[in-house]
Amino acid sequence: MEDEPVNIREYEEVAKQVLPKMIFDFYNGGAGDEYTLRENMEAYKRIMLRPRILVDVGRIDMSTTLLGYKMQSPIMVAPTGMHKYAHPEGEVATARAAAACNTLMVLSFGSSRKIEDVASSCNAVRFYQLYVYQKREVSATLVRRAEEYGFKAILLTVDTPSLGRREKRHKKQKRGSDLEAFASQTLDPSLCWNDIEWLRSITSLPIILKGIISPEDGTFASLLFISGYQFYRFTKCFYFFLR
Ligand SMILES: Cc1cc2nc3c(=O)[nH]c(=O)nc-3n(C[C@H](O)[C@H](O)[C@H](O)COP(=O)(O)O)c2cc1C
Protein backbone atom coordinates (compact mmCIF):
# COMPACT_ATOMS: atom_id res chain seq x y z
CA MET A 1 0.00 0.00 0.00
CA GLU A 2 1.44 3.33 -1.08
CA ASP A 3 0.46 5.23 2.06
CA GLU A 4 1.52 2.59 4.54
CA PRO A 5 3.55 4.18 7.36
CA VAL A 6 7.22 3.33 7.28
CA ASN A 7 8.50 4.71 10.57
CA ILE A 8 7.37 5.67 14.05
CA ARG A 9 6.78 9.31 13.13
CA GLU A 10 4.43 8.27 10.34
CA TYR A 11 2.60 5.81 12.60
CA GLU A 12 2.16 8.65 15.07
CA GLU A 13 0.59 10.78 12.31
CA VAL A 14 -1.86 7.98 11.42
CA ALA A 15 -2.73 7.48 15.10
CA LYS A 16 -3.47 11.17 15.42
CA GLN A 17 -5.88 10.99 12.51
CA VAL A 18 -7.74 7.81 13.48
CA LEU A 19 -7.90 7.91 17.30
CA PRO A 20 -10.23 10.14 19.30
CA LYS A 21 -8.17 13.06 20.66
CA MET A 22 -8.55 11.94 24.25
CA ILE A 23 -7.15 8.48 23.48
CA PHE A 24 -4.34 9.90 21.38
CA ASP A 25 -3.40 12.21 24.25
CA PHE A 26 -3.39 9.25 26.65
CA TYR A 27 -0.81 7.41 24.57
CA ASN A 28 1.13 10.40 23.42
CA GLY A 29 1.05 12.78 26.37
CA GLY A 30 3.37 13.21 29.33
CA ALA A 31 3.10 14.57 32.85
CA GLY A 32 3.12 18.24 33.83
CA ASP A 33 4.68 20.54 31.24
CA GLU A 34 5.88 17.45 29.33
CA TYR A 35 9.47 18.57 29.85
CA THR A 36 10.69 14.98 30.40
CA LEU A 37 8.77 13.75 27.38
CA ARG A 38 10.45 16.35 25.17
CA GLU A 39 13.83 15.72 26.73
CA ASN A 40 13.44 11.96 26.02
CA MET A 41 13.18 12.75 22.33
CA GLU A 42 15.97 15.34 22.38
CA ALA A 43 18.32 12.92 24.16
CA TYR A 44 18.18 10.55 21.20
CA LYS A 45 18.95 13.39 18.80
CA ARG A 46 22.16 14.14 20.72
CA ILE A 47 23.50 10.64 20.10
CA MET A 48 25.69 10.60 17.00
CA LEU A 49 26.94 7.41 15.45
CA ARG A 50 30.54 7.24 14.25
CA PRO A 51 30.52 4.34 11.82
CA ARG A 52 33.57 2.30 10.87
CA ILE A 53 34.00 1.35 7.22
CA LEU A 54 35.01 -1.77 5.31
CA VAL A 55 33.73 -4.08 8.00
CA ASP A 56 31.77 -7.17 6.99
CA VAL A 57 28.12 -6.32 7.72
CA GLY A 58 26.75 -9.03 5.45
CA ARG A 59 25.31 -10.79 8.48
CA ILE A 60 24.26 -8.65 11.42
CA ASP A 61 23.32 -10.30 14.68
CA MET A 62 21.81 -7.93 17.23
CA SER A 63 20.41 -10.72 19.38
CA THR A 64 20.93 -10.70 23.12
CA THR A 65 19.47 -12.35 26.20
CA LEU A 66 17.55 -11.07 29.17
CA LEU A 67 17.31 -13.39 32.19
CA GLY A 68 18.45 -16.10 29.79
CA TYR A 69 15.66 -15.49 27.26
CA LYS A 70 16.83 -14.78 23.77
CA MET A 71 15.70 -11.62 21.98
CA GLN A 72 16.33 -10.81 18.34
CA SER A 73 17.54 -7.34 19.29
CA PRO A 74 17.86 -5.38 22.54
CA ILE A 75 14.38 -3.95 22.08
CA MET A 76 11.44 -5.22 24.08
CA VAL A 77 7.83 -4.19 24.70
CA ALA A 78 7.59 -1.96 27.78
CA PRO A 79 4.45 -2.18 29.90
CA THR A 80 1.77 0.25 28.77
CA GLY A 81 -1.88 0.05 29.74
CA MET A 82 -5.12 0.00 27.79
CA HIS A 83 -4.17 -1.24 24.31
CA LYS A 84 -7.84 -1.87 23.52
CA TYR A 85 -8.35 1.86 23.26
CA ALA A 86 -6.38 1.59 20.02
CA HIS A 87 -7.38 -1.85 18.73
CA PRO A 88 -10.16 -4.31 19.66
CA GLU A 89 -7.67 -7.14 20.17
CA GLY A 90 -5.61 -5.01 22.56
CA GLU A 91 -2.68 -6.68 24.34
CA VAL A 92 -3.36 -10.02 22.61
CA ALA A 93 -2.31 -8.42 19.31
CA THR A 94 0.71 -6.82 20.99
CA ALA A 95 1.79 -10.20 22.37
CA ARG A 96 1.50 -11.78 18.92
CA ALA A 97 3.59 -8.97 17.46
CA ALA A 98 6.22 -9.51 20.17
CA ALA A 99 6.33 -13.22 19.34
CA ALA A 100 6.64 -12.47 15.61
CA CYS A 101 9.60 -10.17 16.33
CA ASN A 102 11.19 -12.72 18.69
CA THR A 103 11.20 -10.30 21.55
CA LEU A 104 9.85 -10.14 25.08
CA MET A 105 6.69 -8.44 26.19
CA VAL A 106 5.94 -6.94 29.59
CA LEU A 107 2.20 -7.02 30.24
CA SER A 108 0.98 -3.98 32.15
CA PHE A 109 -1.08 -4.26 35.33
CA GLY A 110 -3.42 -1.96 33.38
CA SER A 111 -3.88 -4.44 30.55
CA SER A 112 -7.26 -4.24 28.88
CA ARG A 113 -7.14 -8.00 28.14
CA LYS A 114 -7.16 -10.75 30.75
CA ILE A 115 -3.83 -12.31 31.76
CA GLU A 116 -5.03 -15.72 30.53
CA ASP A 117 -6.11 -14.37 27.10
CA VAL A 118 -2.70 -12.84 26.52
CA ALA A 119 -0.99 -16.01 27.78
CA SER A 120 -2.90 -18.31 25.44
CA SER A 121 -2.56 -16.08 22.37
CA CYS A 122 1.05 -16.87 21.48
CA ASN A 123 4.33 -18.16 22.81
CA ALA A 124 6.00 -14.78 23.38
CA VAL A 125 8.07 -14.74 26.55
CA ARG A 126 6.10 -12.54 28.91
CA PHE A 127 6.94 -10.68 32.12
CA TYR A 128 4.20 -9.24 34.32
CA GLN A 129 4.33 -5.63 35.52
CA LEU A 130 3.07 -5.01 39.02
CA TYR A 131 2.24 -2.07 41.21
CA VAL A 132 1.80 -2.75 44.91
CA TYR A 133 -1.72 -2.13 46.10
CA GLN A 134 -2.70 -0.91 49.55
CA LYS A 135 -4.50 -4.25 49.79
CA ARG A 136 -1.50 -6.56 49.54
CA GLU A 137 -3.71 -9.56 48.74
CA VAL A 138 -4.68 -7.96 45.41
CA SER A 139 -1.02 -7.80 44.36
CA ALA A 140 -0.44 -11.32 45.70
CA THR A 141 -3.34 -12.63 43.58
CA LEU A 142 -1.93 -10.97 40.46
CA VAL A 143 1.47 -12.51 41.11
CA ARG A 144 -0.10 -15.96 41.53
CA ARG A 145 -2.03 -15.57 38.28
CA ALA A 146 1.10 -14.45 36.43
CA GLU A 147 2.90 -17.55 37.73
CA GLU A 148 -0.04 -19.80 36.83
CA TYR A 149 -0.14 -18.49 33.26
CA GLY A 150 3.55 -18.89 32.55
CA PHE A 151 4.89 -15.37 32.99
CA LYS A 152 8.65 -15.56 33.52
CA ALA A 153 9.35 -12.58 35.80
CA ILE A 154 7.63 -9.93 37.89
CA LEU A 155 8.58 -6.41 36.94
CA LEU A 156 7.78 -4.07 39.80
CA THR A 157 7.40 -0.42 38.84
CA VAL A 158 9.06 1.60 41.60
CA ASP A 159 9.01 5.12 40.18
CA THR A 160 5.29 5.72 40.49
CA PRO A 161 4.20 6.16 44.12
CA SER A 162 1.53 8.37 42.58
CA LEU A 163 0.67 8.89 38.94
CA GLY A 164 2.01 11.95 37.17
CA ARG A 165 -0.42 14.79 36.55
CA ARG A 166 -1.44 14.41 32.92
CA GLU A 167 -2.71 17.90 32.19
CA LYS A 168 -4.15 17.17 28.75
CA ARG A 169 -6.51 14.67 30.35
CA HIS A 170 -7.24 17.04 33.24
CA LYS A 171 -8.53 19.61 30.77
CA LYS A 172 -11.08 17.16 29.41
CA GLN A 173 -12.10 15.51 32.63
CA LYS A 174 -12.27 18.65 34.78
CA ARG A 175 -11.46 16.94 38.12
CA GLY A 176 -8.51 14.90 36.91
CA SER A 177 -8.50 11.57 35.20
CA ASP A 178 -10.29 8.42 36.34
CA LEU A 179 -6.99 6.56 36.17
CA GLU A 180 -5.38 9.00 38.60
CA ALA A 181 -8.34 8.68 40.95
CA PHE A 182 -8.13 4.88 40.74
CA ALA A 183 -4.39 4.96 41.40
CA SER A 184 -4.59 7.27 44.39
CA GLN A 185 -7.31 5.15 45.98
CA THR A 186 -5.67 1.78 45.40
CA LEU A 187 -1.88 1.97 44.99
CA ASP A 188 0.35 2.13 48.06
CA PRO A 189 2.42 5.34 48.23
CA SER A 190 4.22 4.08 51.36
CA LEU A 191 5.97 1.36 49.35
CA CYS A 192 9.60 1.01 50.41
CA TRP A 193 12.54 -1.40 50.40
CA ASN A 194 11.00 -3.71 53.04
CA ASP A 195 8.16 -4.42 50.65
CA ILE A 196 10.60 -5.86 48.14
CA GLU A 197 11.38 -8.53 50.74
CA TRP A 198 7.66 -9.17 51.03
CA LEU A 199 7.40 -9.59 47.26
CA ARG A 200 10.34 -11.97 47.29
CA SER A 201 8.62 -14.02 49.98
CA ILE A 202 5.52 -14.64 47.88
CA THR A 203 7.10 -15.59 44.55
CA SER A 204 9.99 -17.60 43.23
CA LEU A 205 9.93 -15.68 39.94
CA PRO A 206 12.78 -13.24 39.28
CA ILE A 207 11.89 -9.68 40.26
CA ILE A 208 12.91 -6.68 38.17
CA LEU A 209 12.69 -3.18 39.61
CA LYS A 210 11.63 -0.79 36.87
CA GLY A 211 12.32 2.88 37.27
CA ILE A 212 15.57 3.15 39.24
CA ILE A 213 16.88 6.46 37.97
CA SER A 214 19.49 7.54 40.54
CA PRO A 215 22.68 5.48 40.63
CA GLU A 216 22.58 5.84 44.46
CA ASP A 217 19.39 3.78 44.52
CA GLY A 218 21.03 1.14 42.34
CA THR A 219 24.00 0.97 44.70
CA PHE A 220 21.70 0.78 47.70
CA ALA A 221 19.77 -2.06 46.11
CA SER A 222 22.94 -3.98 45.38
CA LEU A 223 24.07 -3.63 49.01
CA LEU A 224 20.74 -4.81 50.33
CA PHE A 225 20.41 -7.74 47.99
CA ILE A 226 24.01 -8.73 47.65
CA SER A 227 23.11 -12.27 46.62
CA GLY A 228 22.34 -12.13 42.96
CA TYR A 229 21.57 -8.97 41.11
CA GLN A 230 22.24 -7.55 37.71
CA PHE A 231 21.85 -4.15 36.15
CA TYR A 232 20.33 -3.67 32.79
CA ARG A 233 20.05 -0.22 31.37
CA PHE A 234 17.09 0.54 29.13
CA THR A 235 16.72 4.09 27.86
CA LYS A 236 16.97 6.28 30.92
CA CYS A 237 15.78 3.84 33.57
CA PHE A 238 17.85 1.19 35.19
CA TYR A 239 16.06 -2.10 35.31
CA PHE A 240 17.41 -3.83 38.35
CA PHE A 241 17.04 -7.55 38.49
CA LEU A 242 16.88 -9.47 41.76
CA ARG A 243 16.95 -13.23 41.73
C1 LIG B 1 0.47 5.28 27.39
C2 LIG B 1 1.47 4.79 28.37
C3 LIG B 1 1.09 3.87 29.34
C4 LIG B 1 2.03 3.38 30.25
N5 LIG B 1 1.64 2.45 31.17
C6 LIG B 1 2.56 1.92 32.02
C7 LIG B 1 2.17 0.93 32.95
O8 LIG B 1 1.02 0.50 33.01
N9 LIG B 1 3.13 0.46 33.79
C10 LIG B 1 4.44 0.90 33.75
O11 LIG B 1 5.26 0.42 34.54
N12 LIG B 1 4.83 1.84 32.87
C13 LIG B 1 3.93 2.37 32.00
N14 LIG B 1 4.32 3.31 31.10
C15 LIG B 1 5.75 3.73 31.05
C16 LIG B 1 6.52 2.93 30.01
O17 LIG B 1 6.60 1.56 30.36
C18 LIG B 1 7.96 3.47 29.82
O19 LIG B 1 8.70 3.32 31.02
C20 LIG B 1 7.97 4.93 29.45
O21 LIG B 1 7.06 5.18 28.39
C22 LIG B 1 9.40 5.41 29.07
O23 LIG B 1 9.88 4.75 27.93
P24 LIG B 1 9.93 5.51 26.51
O25 LIG B 1 10.85 6.66 26.69
O26 LIG B 1 10.43 4.46 25.56
O27 LIG B 1 8.49 5.92 26.20
C28 LIG B 1 3.39 3.82 30.19
C29 LIG B 1 3.77 4.74 29.20
C30 LIG B 1 2.83 5.22 28.32
C31 LIG B 1 3.29 6.22 27.27
Please tell me if the CB atom of residue 29 comes closer than 6 angstroms to any atom of ligand 1: no
Distance 66 CA to ligand 1 centre (A): 19
Whose CA is closest to 92, among 60, 66, 114, 70? 114
What pLDDT does residue 172 have?
Answer: 62
Task: Give the position, in ligand 1's atom list, of the atom nearest the Cα of 27.
Answer: 1
Please tell me if the CB atom of residue 149 comes closer than 6 angstroms to any atom of ligand 1: no
Q: Could you name the CATH architecture of 63-242?
A: Alpha-Beta Barrel (3.20)
What pLDDT does residue 216 have?
Answer: 82
What pLDDT does residue 243 have?
Answer: 60
What is the arithmetic mean of pLDDT over 69-86?
95
Average pLDDT, the chain: 88
Question: Is this prediction's pTM over 0.95?
Answer: no
167-170's contacts with Cβ under 8 Å and 24+ in sequence apart are 167/29, 167/31, 167/32, 167/33, 168/25, 168/29, 169/22, 169/25, 169/26, 169/29
Domain ranges in the chain are 63-242
What is the arithmetic mean of pLDDT over 72-81?
94
Please tell me if the CB atom of residue 90 comes closer than 6 angstroms to any atom of ligand 1: no
* pLDDT-based confidence at residue 228 (cuts at 50, 70, 90): low
What is the arithmetic mean of pLDDT over 66-83?
94
* pLDDT-based confidence at residue 194 (cuts at 50, 70, 90): confident
Pocket test for ligand 1, best of 22, 41, 47, 80 (most atoms within 8 A of CB): 80
Distance 125 CA to ligand 1 centre (A): 19
Q: How far apart are CA 203 and CA 219, in angstroms?
A: 24
* pLDDT-based confidence at residue 218 (cuts at 50, 70, 90): confident
* pLDDT-based confidence at residue 126 (cuts at 50, 70, 90): very high
Q: What percent of the chain has pLDDT over 90?
A: 67
**Three-class secondary structure of residue 164 per DSSP:** coil
Q: Is the pLDDT of residue 32 over 80?
A: yes
Q: Is the pLDDT of residue 211 over 60?
A: yes
Please tell me if the CB atom of residue 219 comes closer than 6 angstroms to any atom of ligand 1: no
Distance 78 CA to ligand 1 centre (A): 6
